[in-house]
């Protein structure tokens, strides 16, 4: 079962391998026929064990003995870190009736036994009569299972007592599931460069609950710098959920336990788990799943079931991605940032009858939320009735609004089109993406931790009016995806900020105008600020302390009436007048500007930092905007009889990524401060880079 294809570079090609992986594995159950009473004791709960407990997954890592393959310490480290985190996470999600005593796995008689007794009238009917001399022990998807984890086996005469060949191993204590882990570069990895890992379940208990499985990581692919730890954890979780029961092969073994998990004697195998609806769509029809999907789509009551992805008639092990895009159990992976452990998937585990599910571990899935019973159908996705889908191939926003996206399709979408994150640099929340924008930023984009993608066709009036040569960036006409800052004000309500603009309330579903810009910005509905975390929620704190806010200084040389010299008091007055003009130009509050001064040689200097409670763009951003507009259009101030103008050629800035200028201009004392801060910035920037995990921008 179970391949999760990471589709790199937007190429939605390649076979789905999960069926092939599944086929290679024979699911083993405990051997009933030859099972003396003590065999059952390790599987069936003893009295007093009728309380579900968090699922204990014990992992065994074996370095794959692949000839000629170099050991891959980096892939190994990343894989094992992900396994550890994922198994811990699953403990908080799934509980089972704990296995009592050591967990022992079964041997496959078809492997160790060459022939069995065939006469139903003999006492040892169907027991092993001839051993397979070539028996090499048991394995699970290529991982060798140690004899210590396995039951023993015997050779039986036609009548009488058996000859013990291998006794039971000691088994594994404190385990409800054994996970064998391999890091390798298998032929499957080789064939599918987008596969992170694949997994299979190999053994079931007497109630058919999965007891053991293997996950194989494609070691070479784990080294990709575009994969973050979180991505590998999500891929691992996806694979383990397959191995724990979310699989086309295992659906038909799910149990119906009307009296709950603790009363397992009343459980029966479910009569129907999947079926086709009138459109031919394959559905998973169990009750919790149907109910959960109805709730998700905002349909009263229940639905017939939740659609499964189908590929060439294979047994489906994934949700239909048109309906449950972004769910952890869809067939394609777009990075951890875009993936949710959704409530419908957790409902499926409840319906398996093997687990008690912690539903508070579910993550909200925005895709299709409240969109009604016809959402995601091939017949409705192209009508423009839902803004989750798009038509054409233009640029817009991925539905989570974290990324810009382009309208695209793939084989799992059956002709429907959605905004997929671009291959590179489309994350609005990554500041480094903004470094690539030219100094000229006609659309006023801001890349920041709190930036989101908005449909907009804004063009800066300053730039369009004052650029002598035609602007290199054409005016936007059709709205496209752009990155702007947002901050939540209430549940469902937010404000936006474009470079140099004040905060503008954005009414969900409406378009707003931004001062200083032509065009409109569209405010998405039902996507941003959904949690009621109070005004100016922590998740959307506009500008918490960023390195760019530390300190900045703006210096302007004024040219005035020739020969006009000013006294100290006059200079103070003039400084105030210049500051007022500057604040007007900036379109922000005065809370950014501190200690304006003018020297006798008419250099105006003001410190820029945000006072507490000062809301708006970062200092660096404001500084950049001001610098730009002052270049385009100098400030002119009247003071008494005189007129002063800022001199473009004499415009100096400090700390705006331009330390050399700073040194020219500033006193030694300030230089020292600047150097210290620059040092601190270097450290902070480094730490930030180390912390910002790179999510793959894939489609």
Ligand X SMILES: *[C@@H]1O[C@H](CO)[C@@H](O)[C@H](O)[C@H]1NC(C)=O
Going by the annotation, the residues of the binding site for Zn(2+) are 238, 242, 318
- We find the least distance from the C-beta atom of residue 359 to ligand X, in angstroms, to be 8
Paired residues of 395 in beta bridges: 406
Taking the mean position of all CA atoms in its chain, how far away is CA 533?
21
Cα angle: 487, vertex 407, 278; to 5 degrees: 110
CB distance 522 to 454 below 8 Å: yes
d(CA 24, CA 29): 16
Catalytic residue among 76, 207, 239, 495: 239
CB distance 597 to 528 below 8 Å: no
Name which of 109 and 479 has its Cβ closer to ligand X: 479
Number of residues located near ligand X, criterion CB under 6 A:
16
State whether the Cα torsion 86-262-173-171 is positive or negative.
negative
Name which of 25 and 357 has its Cβ closer to ligand X: 357
State whether the Cα torsion 438-441-442-447 is positive or negative.
positive
Distance between terminal CA atoms of the chain?
A: 23
* 477 contributes a contact to ligand X by CB under 6 A: yes
State whether the Cα torsion 220-223-225-228 is positive or negative.
positive
d(CA 653, CA 626): 10
Of 516, 519, 596, 696, which lies in the binding site for ligand X, with binding defined by CB under 6 A?
Answer: 519
Name which of 358 and 546 has its Cβ closer to ligand X: 358
* 516 contributes a contact to ligand X by CB under 6 A: no
* 387 contributes a contact to ligand X by CB under 6 A: no
- C-alpha separations of 334 from 14, 194, 231, 420, 609 in Å: 16, 11, 9, 9, 39
Given the rule CB under 6 A, which of 515-523, 597-605, 637-645, 688-696 is the region that contacts ligand X? 515-523
- We find the least distance from the C-beta atom of residue 93 to ligand X, in angstroms, to be 7
Among candidate residues 385, 185, 352, 344, the one with its CA nearest the CA of residue 256 = 352
- C-alpha separations of 427 from 373, 444, 513, 544, 686 in Å: 32, 16, 24, 20, 19
Name which of 281 and 441 has its Cβ closer to ligand X: 441
Is 431 a catalytic site residue?
no
Name which of 89 and 311 has its Cβ closer to ligand X: 89
Pairing assessment for the beta strands 493-497 and 504-506 based on DSSP bridges: antiparallel
- We find the least distance from the C-beta atom of residue 629 to ligand X, in angstroms, to be 19
Of 37, 312, 360, 468, which lies in the binding site for ligand X, with binding defined by CB under 6 A?
Answer: 360
Given the rule CB under 6 A, which of 153-161, 230-238, 357-365, 401-409 is the region that contacts ligand X? 357-365
Phi, psi (degrees; rounded to nearest 5) at 184: -155, 175
Given the rule CB under 6 A, which of 76-84, 98-106, 282-290, 517-525 is the region that contacts ligand X? 517-525
Instruction: Return binding residues.
Output: 238, 242, 318
Name which of 364 and 475 has its Cβ closer to ligand X: 475
* 396 contributes a contact to ligand X by CB under 6 A: no
Among candidate residues 254, 241, 320, 312, the one with its CA nearest the CA of residue 282 = 320
* 384 contributes a contact to ligand X by CB under 6 A: no
- We find the least distance from the C-beta atom of residue 479 to ligand X, in angstroms, to be 5
- We find the least distance from the C-beta atom of residue 260 to ligand X, in angstroms, to be 8
Coil, helix or strand at residue 150: strand
- We find the least distance from the C-beta atom of residue 376 to ligand X, in angstroms, to be 26
Strands (E), 590-641: 593-598, 603-608, 636-639
* 481 contributes a contact to ligand X by CB under 6 A: no
Name which of 361 and 473 has its Cβ closer to ligand X: 361
Name which of 471 and 600 has its Cβ closer to ligand X: 471
Name which of 27 and 520 has its Cβ closer to ligand X: 520
* 92 contributes a contact to ligand X by CB under 6 A: yes
Query: Which residues from 609-638 bind ligand X, rule CB under 6 A?
Result: none
- We find the least distance from the C-beta atom of residue 322 to ligand X, in angstroms, to be 27
- We find the least distance from the C-beta atom of residue 517 to ligand X, in angstroms, to be 9
Name the token pair of 70.
Answer: 């170099």
Pairing assessment for the beta strands 517-518 and 128-131 based on DSSP bridges: unpaired
Given the rule CB under 6 A, which of 347-355, 356-364, 377-385, 412-420 is the region that contacts ligand X? 356-364
Coil, helix or strand at residue 675: helix
CB distance 15 to 192 below 8 Å: yes
* 385 contributes a contact to ligand X by CB under 6 A: no
Given the rule CB under 6 A, which of 14-22, 187-195, 405-413, 473-481 is the region that contacts ligand X? 473-481
- C-alpha separations of 243 from 27, 148, 266, 317, 469 in Å: 11, 22, 25, 11, 62
* 476 contributes a contact to ligand X by CB under 6 A: yes
Given the rule CB under 6 A, which of 118-126, 354-362, 497-505, 565-573 is the region that contacts ligand X? 354-362
Name the token pair of 618.
Answer: 């970062």
DSSP 8-state class, residue 340: B
* 266 contributes a contact to ligand X by CB under 6 A: yes
d(CA 609, CA 573): 22
Ranked by CB distance to ligand X, the top (closest) residue is 263
Given the rule CB under 6 A, which of 272-280, 474-482, 596-604, 613-621 is the region that contacts ligand X? 474-482
Of 518, 572, 647, 663, which lies in the binding site for ligand X, with binding defined by CB under 6 A?
Answer: 518
* 479 contributes a contact to ligand X by CB under 6 A: yes
Helices 229-243 + 73-91 axis angle, to 10: 60
State whether the Cα torsion 537-541-545-550 is positive or negative.
negative
Pairing assessment for the beta strands 332-333 and 3-6 based on DSSP bridges: parallel
CA atoms within 13 A on the CB side of 347: 20
d(CA 349, CA 194): 27
d(CA 10, CA 557): 51
* 27 contributes a contact to ligand X by CB under 6 A: no
Binding mask 400-439 for ligand X (x = CB under 6 A): ----------------------------------------
Name which of 496 and 674 has its Cβ closer to ligand X: 496
Of 154, 358, 380, 645, which lies in the binding site for ligand X, with binding defined by CB under 6 A?
Answer: 358
- We find the least distance from the C-beta atom of residue 263 to ligand X, in angstroms, to be 3
* 326 contributes a contact to ligand X by CB under 6 A: no
* 520 contributes a contact to ligand X by CB under 6 A: yes
- We find the least distance from the C-beta atom of residue 360 to ligand X, in angstroms, to be 4
- C-alpha separations of 219 from 65, 78, 145, 179 in Å: 13, 9, 21, 17
d(CA 325, CA 405): 15
In the chain, % helix, strand, coil (3-state, to 5) comes to 25, 25, 50
* 263 contributes a contact to ligand X by CB under 6 A: yes
Name which of 39 and 349 has its Cβ closer to ligand X: 349
Binding mask 240-259 for ligand X (x = CB under 6 A): -------------------x
Taking the mean position of all CA atoms in its chain, how far away is CA 645?
51
Binding mask 47-86 for ligand X (x = CB under 6 A): ----------------------------------------
- C-alpha separations of 473 from 407, 458, 463, 600 in Å: 22, 12, 10, 42
- We find the least distance from the C-beta atom of residue 480 to ligand X, in angstroms, to be 10
Binding mask 449-468 for ligand X (x = CB under 6 A): --------x-x---------
| Interface residues toward ligand X, by CB under 6 A | 92, 259, 263, 266, 358, 360-361, 457, 459, 475-477, 479, 518-520
Active-site residue set: 239
């Amino acid at each position: 079962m179970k391949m999760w294809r990471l589709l790199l570079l937007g190429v939605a090609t390649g076979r789905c391998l999960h069926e092939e992986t599944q086929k290679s594995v024979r699911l083993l159950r405990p051997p009933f026929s030859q099972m003396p009473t003590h065999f059952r004791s390790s599987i069936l709960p003893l009295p007093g064990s009728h309380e579900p407990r968090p699922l204990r997954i014990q992992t065994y890592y074996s370095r794959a003995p692949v000839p000629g393959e170099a050991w891959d310490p980096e892939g190994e480290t990343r894989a094992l870190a992900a396994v550890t985190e994922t198994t811990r996470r699953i403990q908080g999600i799934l509980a089972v009736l704990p296995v009592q005593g050591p967990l022992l796995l079964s041997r496959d008689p078809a492997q160790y036994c060459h022939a069995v007794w065939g006469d139903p009238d003999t006492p040892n009917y169907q027991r092993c009569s001839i051993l397979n001399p070539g028996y090499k022990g048991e394995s699970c998807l290529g991982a060798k299972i140690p004899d210590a984890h396995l039951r023993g086996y015997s050779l039986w005469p036609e009548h009488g007592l058996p000859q013990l060949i291998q006794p039971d191993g000691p088994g594994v204590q404190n385990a409800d599931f054994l996970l064998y882990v391999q890091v390798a570069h298998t032929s499957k990895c080789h064939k599918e460069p987008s596969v992170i890992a694949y997994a299979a379940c190999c053994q079931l208990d007497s109630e058919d609950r999965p007891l053991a499985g293997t996950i194989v990581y494609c070691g070479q692919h784990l080294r990709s710098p575009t994969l973050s730890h979180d991505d590998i954890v999500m891929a691992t979780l996806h694979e383990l959920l397959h191995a724990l029961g979310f699989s086309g092969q295992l659906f038909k073994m799910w149990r119906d336990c009307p009296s709950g998990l603790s009363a397992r004697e009343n459980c029966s195998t479910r009569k129907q788990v999947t079926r086709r609806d009138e459109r031919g769509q394959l559905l998973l029809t169990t009750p919790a799943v149907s109910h959960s999907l109805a709730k998700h789509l905002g349909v009263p009551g229940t639905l017939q079931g939740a659609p499964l992805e189908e590929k060439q008639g294979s047994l489906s092990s994934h949700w239909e991605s048109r309906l449950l895009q972004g769910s952890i159990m869809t067939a394609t992976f777009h990075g951890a940032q875009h993936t949710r452990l959704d409530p419908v998937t957790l409902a499926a585990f409840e319906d398996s009858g093997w687990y008690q599910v912690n539903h508070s571990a579910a993550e909200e899935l925005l895709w299709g939320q409240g969109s009604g019973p016809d959402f995601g159908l091939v017949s409705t996705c192209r009508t423009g009735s839902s803004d989750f889908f798009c038509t054409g191939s233009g640029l817009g926003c991925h539905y989570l609004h974290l990324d810009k996206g382009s309208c695209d399709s793939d084989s799992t979408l059956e002709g429907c089109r959605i905004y997929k994150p671009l291959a590179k640099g489309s994350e609005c929340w990554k500041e480094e993406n903004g470094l690539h924008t030219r100094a000229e930023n006609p659309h006023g984009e801001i890349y920041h931790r709190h930036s989101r993608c908005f449909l907009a066709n804004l063009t800066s009036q300053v730039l369009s009016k004052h650029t002598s040569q035609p602007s290199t960036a054409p005016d936007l006409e059709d709205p496209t995806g752009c990155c702007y800052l947002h901050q939540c004000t209430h549940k469902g309500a937010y404000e936006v900020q474009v470079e140099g603009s004040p905060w503008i309330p954005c009414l969900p579903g409406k378009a707003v105008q931004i001062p200083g810009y032509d065009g409109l910005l569209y405010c998405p509905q039902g996507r941003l600020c959904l949690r009621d975390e109070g005004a100016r929620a922590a998740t959307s704190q506009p500008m918490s302390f960023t390195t760019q806010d530390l300190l900045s200084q703006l210096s302007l040389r004024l040219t005035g009436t020739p020969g006009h010299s000013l006294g100290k008091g006059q200079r103070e007055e003039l400084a105030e007048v210049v500051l007022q003009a500057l604040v007007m130009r900036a379109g922000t509050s005065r809370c950014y500007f501190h200690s304006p001064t003018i020297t006798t040689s008419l250099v105006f200097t003001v410190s820029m930092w945000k006072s507490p409670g000062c809301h708006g763009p970062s200092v660096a951003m404001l500084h950049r905007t001001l610098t730009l507009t002052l270049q385009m259009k100098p400030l002119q101030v009247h003071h008494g009889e005189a007129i002063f103008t800022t001199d473009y050629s004499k415009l100096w800035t400090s700390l705006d990524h331009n330390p050399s200028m700073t040194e020219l201009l500033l006193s030694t004392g300030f230089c020292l401060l600047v150097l210290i801060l620059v040092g601190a910035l270097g450290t902070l920037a480094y730490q930030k880079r180390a912390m910002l995990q790179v999510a793959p921008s894939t489609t």
